[in-house]
Amino acid sequence: MSNRILVFYGSYRSDRAGIRLAEFVVQRLRRRGEDVELIDAKAINLPMLDRMYKEYPKGQAPGALEELARKIRAADGFVFVTGEYNWGVQPGLKNLTDHFLEEWFWRPAAIVSYSAGRLSGARAATAWHGTLSEMGMVVVSSTIAVGPISQTLSVEGMPTGEAGKALEHAFPRFADDLMWWVEAGKAQRQRKAPPY
Ligand SMILES: Cc1cc2nc3c(=O)[nH]c(=O)nc-3n(C[C@H](O)[C@H](O)[C@H](O)COP(=O)(O)O)c2cc1C
């Protein structure tokens, strides 16, 4: 039976490059038989955080928040595809995630980072690790780090050159790690309801 995985990506830039990697992750997880949806923060375009989802009276949250809360609660696991702006996280994705808290609890998350340079967004990945833990997700040990993004994936999201080969090589083990924890979490939630 397939698992429900949400892949988050949050650049708002007109010429954004990370969408290639987000689409690559979606396609590769689908090939493994998973039920995967790309959550593109720019497409959802939430306003800067005012009220969190839970701060709205029941049934009165804006439609986009209600829909996203439902999807997050129903997911078995998450992948965060993150670029790096000035050694930090991308504001669009951070803004989207901050709208929720309890909705994220009790599921594993994996981090896929990228950048225009060789450091592959590693500093943003490190920052996300703490943030996702604070939001109640268990962050799996394996990560993917892609850089330079434009030498690794074509505009169509196809791996290119040596960097593309390295990504192809790294992805199966990364996915094995995430999906092992996804299945472990799913089995445990069926066996015993989360304590809070
Ligand atoms: C505002 C800004 C800050 C950036 N800061 C960094 C950085 O700190 N480290 C890095 O490796 N690349 C940095 N870059 C280059 C990005 O890695 C590159 O533009 C990447 O494609 C951004 O992701 P996106 O295209 O999906 O928006 C920065 C780019 C922008 C626009």
| Minimum-distance ligand 1 atom for the alpha carbon of 87 | 8
| Atom 21 (ligand 1) nearest CA | 17
**Residues, the chain, total?**
196
Of 137, 145, 85, give the one whose Cα is nearest residue 112.
Answer: 145
The verdict on residue 196 lying in a domain is no
pLDDT values of the chain reduced to their tens digit, one per residue, 196 residues: 899 999 999 999 999 999 999 999 999 999 999 999 999 999 999 999 999 999 999 999 999 999 999 999 999 999 999 999 999 999 999 999 999 999 999 999 999 999 999 999 999 999 999 999 999 999 999 999 999 999 999 998 899 999 999 999 999 999 999 999 999 999 999 999 999 9
Q: How many domains does the chain have?
A: 1
Contact by Cβ (8 Å): 104, 137: yes
| pTM strictly above 0.95 | yes
- The pocket around ligand 1, CB under 6 angstroms, is made up of 11, 13, 16-18, 83-87, 115-117, 119, 149
| Minimum-distance ligand 1 atom for the alpha carbon of 149 | 21
Write the CATH number for 64: 3.40.50.360
Q: How far is the CA of 147 from the centre of ligand 1 (A)?
A: 11
Helical axes 161-191 vs 19-31, angle rounded to 10°:
60
Of 24, 68, 39, give the one whose Cα is nearest residue 175.
Answer: 24
Q: How far is the CA of 190 from the centre of ligand 1 (A)?
A: 41
Could you list the residue range(s) of the whole structural domain that residue 103 is in? 4-191
Contact by Cβ (8 Å): 124, 82: yes
Separation between Cα atoms, residue 55 and residue 97, nearest integer Å: 15
The two tokens of residue 115 are 């950048």
Separation between Cα atoms, residue 138 and residue 93, nearest integer Å: 18
| Minimum-distance ligand 1 atom for the alpha carbon of 11 | 27
